[in-house]
Amino acid sequence: MQLTSKQRAYLISLGQTLDPVVQVGKAGVSPETVVTAEEAFHNRELLKGTVLKTAPDDPAVSADKLAARTHSEIVKVIGRKFLLYKPFKEDPKIVLPR
């Protein structure tokens, strides 16, 4: 799924009020981090995460790895924070603009 710029802007506006749920630390994008993200995606479609300074990869690479392993889409990487989107398969709550 490829997001348009309008859809990204909409998701970014929704993500501004979210608190980070996932932290990527010195172990990088470990299996535990992926499990935490997957569990969070069971309850929400939009997930905010943080990459700590001790992480081996930069935030863009860490977000890319986590998105690939959770089958989600990167919305935005700003500084050390990132925003991922994975719609619910049945009955999505977030309706994206066309």
Q: What is the pLDDT of residues 52-83, one digit of tens each?
A: 999 999 999 999 999 999 999 999 999 999 99
Query: What pLDDT does residue 62 have?
Result: 97
Angle value at C-alpha 66, between 12 and 6, nearest 5 degrees: 25
- Look up residue 97 and give its two tokens: 């603009």
pLDDT in tens, 6-21: 999 999 999 999 999 9
Q: Which CATH architecture has domain 5-85?
A: 2-Layer Sandwich (3.30)
pLDDT score at 98: 85
Name all contacts of 75-78 with Cβ < 8 Å and 24+ positions apart: 75/3, 75/8, 75/11, 75/12, 75/15, 75/46, 76/8, 76/11, 76/12, 76/15
